[in-house]
Amino acid sequence: MTIRVELGTSLLARNEEMAAEIRYLCQDNNIFLVNIMSSPGAGKTTLLEKSLNFLKTHIKVAVIEGDIATTRDADRISAQGINAVQLNTNGACHLDARMVYQAFQKLDLSALDLILVENIGNLVCPAEFDLGENLRIVLLSITEGNDKIVKYPVMFRDAQMFLLNKIDLLPYTDFNLAELEKDLRTINSELEVFHVSARLGLGIEAWSNRLISIVRNHRRSES
């Protein structure tokens, strides 16, 4: 048992060192780094596809795609004319800072304002690993049910922005919006909340504009 705790500590300590390196690279290049997390199939890639249309006309953006297998997600992003780096974890259930640092080596950092990292679809493990990000976004889709906030609390406690996706499917489910709002207030009252349907493009312009404004404010304060 002792070994297990020590290893966990050293694993997370090593991750913190790499996250610090990433923060240094971001500061040096005035880049804003976003870590996007959710269950599998909550709609992270579709959100990115639709949002990049707005983002790319205002700021210089690249995407790092985390997946266990396949380059499908990076291919979808590249099809938008956006630089996308695919990270395959070959079984690992989360991205760590070392992987993201490796992806940074494939990007021209001096030519970017924003890097969006799409983490592995997993509502548990990715929350434990700091990637050196400026902003953590967690996505929940209507069809997953509103009880996920209290059942997977760490992910929602440590995020700053919350996107409720597939809002168009609300009439076809038992999702309880009032209960969701009560649980969010209890677990993380500072979460900034957006309702979207990535597939239909609903709410995408509003949240994209908000992200652009956050990135610009950050760049002004850093420069």
Should residue 70 be labelled a site residue for a second copy when binding is judged by CB under 8 A? yes
65 near a second copy (CB under 8 A): no
- Distance of alpha carbon 113 from alpha carbon 3, whole angstroms: 42
Could you give phi then psi for residue 192, rounded to 5 degrees?
A: -85, 125
Instruction: Tell me which of 148, 162, 167, 196 binds a second copy, using CB under 8 A.
Output: 148
Could you tell me which stretch among 101-109, 165-173, 188-196, 205-213 binds a second copy (CB under 8 A)? 165-173
123 versus 211: smaller Cβ distance to a second copy: 123
Of residues 98, 56, 59, 58, the one with CA closest to residue 79: 56
147 touching a second copy, by CB under 8 A: yes
Residue 9: half-sphere exposure toward Cβ, Cα within 13 Å: 6
Q: Does 93 bind a second copy (CB under 8 A)?
A: yes
Tell me how far the alpha carbon of residue 152 is from its chain's centroid: 16
Strands 114-118, 161-165: pairing kind: unpaired
Cβ 52 vs Cβ 82: under 8 Å: yes
Residue 62 or 139 having the CB closest to a second copy: 139
Where in 102-131 is the site for a second copy (CB under 8 A)? 120-125
**Site for a second copy contains 202 (CB under 8 A):** no
85 is a site residue for a second copy (CB under 8 A) = no
